[in-house]
Structure 1
């Protein structure tokens, strides 16, 4: 079983392409014969992880790809690491704005993705989809979910998971703003590529995809 998740709109937006892409990628993968569930998460600290944990308990997936929106980024971001820190620049959809709080009190400082991020980077490049390996998932609800996912999966031997950030969709970017966006079909295909790559890859590739800052 494969589980894909995306988020509800937040920050005054009326749409969130992460959920649309997750839902459509799930349909695409089902058409290829895979067993896939898609779940929309609330953009709320605590509640998002609770909904995710309920989905993990219901579906018992072997592979989980969570997606979120990173407005301003120009590429699909394959997140490498989740940190045990909530530090909200803006309130979540319930008005919560934790500052310097742990996602899991007493938990490890960080978890690494168990997705083959380098192999996925190469596969996305081959598919003509702009992508990068990202060294930070931020400190908002996306990182909160990413950390919560990896903390939960540590108890399920063999289960793998990680997080992917998508840019704004074209409909979210005002004309002349200069903000980056990506067509929704590219985001949908990107999530499907990440899933296919994870299913086909047992050991990640060793490619240079780091950052100097």
Structure 2
């Protein structure tokens, strides 16, 4: 089995992105699966171009995209991506699409095909906070999640499972952000590894049937 893991470069005025730094810590093999990480630009559409090329070259069975969600407390596997770009800030090349479809021939939304509840449990069992997220936002993270699921649906049938997970700020990023949650890089790397272990374990199994919803 082969698993492709992506991490975004820094954006929004930050000097570093924990998504990229955490995937760099991953070993080459996890639970018997070959793991490859790739850096992704925080740019609408270009991010998907880099992802598509990486899928073509590596031919993975599963893809896990990772992004920064500053302000969140834990690692949060995403449930759904919507077919909409609505950027509150510009991406790293100055693009700021508003109310634009990501793929005109795509459905309104794609649900993750990763075992998001098993991933959440595995991260928690590794001693780290984790929960299912029901919104990936409308910036480049949601864009890439939608794109990877679109590509798996329309072009790369060998990609059996794909999805996205957000992670918090690194501790170094919140020195000037009082009362903002963060996590050290080593723990985030451990959490991403635990999520991948769950992806391997549940590759041919149904996801856990546990509560992952919210009241608001």
The answer, yes or no, to whether TM exceeds 0.5 is: yes
Spell out the pairing of 1:1-213 with structure 2 (5 A cutoff). Answer: 1-25=2-26, 28-30=27-29, 33-154=32-153, 155=155, 156-157=157-158, 159-174=160-175, 177-201=178-202, 202-213=205-216
Q: TM-score, normalised by structure 2?
A: 0.94
User: 2:146, 2:49 → 1: CA distance?
Assistant: 13
Shift of 1:159: 1.6
* More deviation, 65-74/170-179: 170-179
Moved over 6 A (4+): none
Distance 1:31 1:99, change over 3 A: closer
The alpha-carbon deviation at position 34 of structure 1 amounts to 3.3
TM-score between both structures, scaled by the size of structure 1:
0.95
For structure 2, the residue ranges without an aligned partner over 5 or more in a row are none
Does the C-alpha gap of structure 1 residues 176 and 7 become closer, same or farther in structure 2, counting only changes over 3 Å? Answer: closer
SS of the residue aligned with 1:133?
Answer: coil
Q: Is the 8 A contact 1:29 1:192 kept in 2?
A: no
Q: Is the 8 A contact 2:30 2:193 kept in 1?
A: no
Gaps of 5+ in 1: none
How far does residue 175 in structure 1 lie from its aligned partner after superposition?
5.2
Contact (CA 8 Å) 1:4, 1:23: kept in 2 or not?
no
> CA separation in 1, counterparts of 2:142 and 2:65?
10
Q: Please, what is the CA RMSD of the aligned residues?
A: 1.4
CA contact 2:42–2:140 (8 Å) conserved in 1: yes
Change beyond 3 A, Cα 1:102–1:177 = same
After superposition, what is the alpha-carbon deviation per residue over 1:62-99, rounded to whole angstroms, capped at 9, x for unaligned?
A: 01110000001111011000000000000000000000
Aligned residues: 211
Conserved? CA contact 2:67–2:141, under 8 Å: yes
